[in-house]
Amino acid sequence: MKDNELWLIEQSRKGNVEAFEELIKEHKKSAYKIALRVLRNVEDAEDISQEALIKVFKNIQNFNMQSTFKVWMYRIVVNACLDFKRKKTIDAYSLDETIKFDGNNEVKKEIEDNTNNPDVMIEKNFDSKMVSDAVNKLDDDFKTIIILRDIKGFSYQEISQILSCNLGTVKSRLSRARKNLKQIIEEEIKIQY
Amino acid sequence: MNCNEIKDMLSLYIDGELDENEKKTVEEHVGICESCRNELEQYQKIINVLQNLIEEEPPKGYCKRLHEKLLKAKQQKKISARSKWVKYGSIAAAFVLVVSVIYVSSNLRMGSSVKNENSVAYDRDMQATESPAAPSEGAEMYGLGTNDSKIEEQESASGGNNTLMKASLSIEEERKIKIIKSGKITTQTEGYDLFINNLISKVEGLGGYIEQNNTDVNNWYGDRDKKIKSGYLKLRVPDEYFEELVIYLETESDVYQKNVTSTDMTKEYYEKDNRVKNLELQETHLRELFANAKTVEETLLIENELRRVRTEIDALNINLSDIDDRASMSTISLEVQEVLKANLSMSDRDNVWERAKEGFVNTINGIVDVTENIIISLISVTPILVPALIILVIVWIKLRKNKTKS
pLDDT of B215 above 80 = yes
Kindly report, residue by residue over B239-271, the tens digit of the pLDDT.
888 888 888 888 888 888 888 888 888 888 888
Any idea which of A48-62, B87-101, B125-139, B218-232 has the lowest mean pLDDT? B125-139
Q: Sort out which chain A residues have CB atoms less than 8 A from B39's CB and list them.
A: 118, 182
Q: Which of A91, A116, A141 is the last residue of a domain?
A: A91
Q: Which of B102-116, B202-216, B346-360 has the highest mean pLDDT?
A: B202-216
Q: Give the pLDDT of residue A92.
A: 59
Burial class from Cβ neighbours inside 10 Å (0-12, 13-18, 19+) for residue B254 reads middle
Q: For residue A129, what are the domain limits?
A: 95-192
- Where is average pLDDT lowest: B122-131, B195-204, B366-375? B122-131
B399–chain A Cβ distance below 8 A for any pair: no
At CA B320, angle to CA B314 and CA B322, rounded to 5?
A: 105
Residue A19 to residue A7: CA distance in whole angstroms: 9
**pLDDT for the residue B224:** 65
Domain boundary residue among A46, A67, A91? A91
Does one domain contain both A29 and A107?
A: no
d(CA B23, CA B260): 106
pLDDT band at B160 (very low <50, low <70, confident <90, very high): very low
CB A143 within 8 A of CB A38: yes
Does residue B82 belong to the interface with chain A, where contact is any CB pair within 8 Å? no
Nearest by CB to A46, which of B55, B59, B405? Answer: B59
Chain B neighbors of A119, CB-CB under 8 A: 38
Q: Which residues, including other chains, have CB under 8 Å from residue B99's CB and lie 6 or more apart?
A: B377, B378, B381, B384, B385
- CATH number, domain at A178? 1.10.10.10
Distances (CA, A) of B141 to B132, B134, B136, B144, B241: 14, 10, 8, 5, 21
Task: Tell whether B89 lies on the interface with A, counting CB pairs under 8 A.
Answer: no
The pLDDT assigned to B109 comes to 55
Q: Does residue A29 share a domain with residue A11?
A: yes
Q: In what order do the strands lie in the sheet with B254-264?
A: B209-220, B223-238, B329-338, B179-189, B254-264
The last residue of one of the domains, among A49, A67, A91, is A91
Q: Above 70 in pLDDT, residue B363?
A: yes
Are residues B15 and A156, on separate chains, in Cβ contact within 8 Å? yes
Q: Bigger pLDDT: B406 or B38?
A: B38
User: B41, exposed or middle or buried, with CB in 10 Å at 0-12, 13-18, 19+?
Assistant: middle
| Candidates A37, A150, A152, partner chain B, best to mutate (most B CBs within 10 A) | A150
CA dist., res. B141 & res. A15, Å (int): 81
Report pLDDT digits (tens) over B302-350: 888 889 999 999 999 998 888 888 888 888 888 888 877 655 545 455 6
pLDDT at B178: 81
Is A35:A81 a contact under the CB 8 Å cutoff? yes
Residue B171 or residue B303, greater confidence: B303
Same domain, A57 and A79: yes
Among the partner-chain residues B12, B51, B55, the one whose CB lies closest to the CB of A33 is B55
The pLDDT of residue B149 is above 50: no
Both A107 and A184 in one domain: the answer is yes
Paired residues of B230 in beta bridges: B216, B337
CB-based contact B41 A46, cutoff 8 Å: no
What distance in Å separates residue B36's CA from the closest CA in chain A?
10
Q: What is the pLDDT of residue B123?
A: 44
Angle in degrees, CA B135, B137, B143, rounded to 5: 100
Whether A45 and A86 share a structural domain: yes
- Where are any strands of DSSP class E within chain A? none
**Domain co-membership, A68 together with A135:** no
CB atoms within 10 A of CB B249: 23
Instruction: Find the helix or strand (DSSP H, E) in which B83 lies.
Output: helix B62-111
Nearest Cα residue to A15 out of B344, B334, B82, B20: B82
Cα-flanking dihedrals φ and ψ of residue B220, to 5°? -70, 150
pLDDT reported for residue B108: 60
Contacts of A36 in chain B (CB under 8 A): 55-56
Tell me the C-alpha distance between A44 and A35, whole Å: 8
Choice between B301 and B165, residue whose per-residue pLDDT is larger = B301
Reduced to 3 states (helix: H, G, I; strand: E, B; else coil), residue B253 is coil
Domain segments of chain B as ranges: 3-51, 69-111+361-406, 122-338
Whether the CB of B33 is below 8 Å from some CB of chain A: the reply is no
pLDDT score of A104: 47
The pLDDT of residue A175 is: 93
Measured between beta carbons, which residues in chain A are less than 8 angstroms from residue B73? 54, 57-58
With contact defined as beta carbons under 8 Å apart, do A61 and A44 qualify?
no
Contacts of B41 (CB under 8 A, 6+ apart): A122
Residue A75 CB burial class (10 angstroms; 0-12, 13-18, ≥19)? buried
Spatial distance between the Cα atoms of B206 and B180, rounded to a whole number of angstroms: 18
User: How high is the pLDDT of residue A93?
Assistant: 52
DSSP H helices, B169-217, are 192-205
ipTM comes to 0.80
Strands B179-189 and B329-338: parallel
**What CATH number does residue A80 fall under?**
1.10.1740.10
For residues A58 and A79, give the distance between their C-alpha atoms in angstroms, rounded to a whole number: 16
pLDDT tens profile B53-91? 888 888 888 989 999 998 888 887 777 767 777 788 888
Please report, for residues A136, B311, B323, the alpha-carbon distance to residue B271 in angstroms, rounded to integers and kept in the order given: 112, 17, 12
For chain B, count helices (H), then strands (E): 11, 5
B50, B57, B59: residue with CB nearest A150: B50
Query: Cβ contacts of residue B207 below 8 Å, gap of 6+?
Result: B237, B238, B241
- pLDDT for B157 equals 45
Count of structural domains, chain A? 2
The model's confidence at residue B150, banded by pLDDT at 50, 70 and 90, is: very low
Residue B159 has pLDDT above 70, yes or no: no
Distance from CA of A156 to the nearest CA of B (A): 9
If you count residue pairs, one on A and one on B, with CB atoms under 8 Å apart, how many are there?
115
Co-location of A112 and A177 in the same domain: yes
- Same domain (yes/no): A11, A54: yes
Tens-level pLDDT at each residue, chain A (193 residues): 567 888 898 888 888 889 999 989 889 889 999 999 999 889 999 999 999 999 999 888 888 888 889 999 999 999 999 999 888 877 655 444 444 444 444 444 333 444 444 444 544 566 788 888 899 999 989 999 999 999 999 999 999 999 999 999 999 999 999 999 999 988 888 887 6
Do residue A132 and residue A63 come from a single domain?
no
Q: Same domain, yes or no, for A152 and A180?
A: yes
Residues A101 and A183 in one domain: yes
pTM for this predicted structure: 0.45
Same domain, A86 and A99: no
Is B39 in CB contact (< 8 Å) with chain A? yes
**Cα of A62 to nearest chain B Cα, Å:** 6
Q: Does B56 touch chain A (CB under 8 A)?
A: yes
What is the pLDDT confidence band of residue B162, given thresholds at 50, 70 and 90?
very low
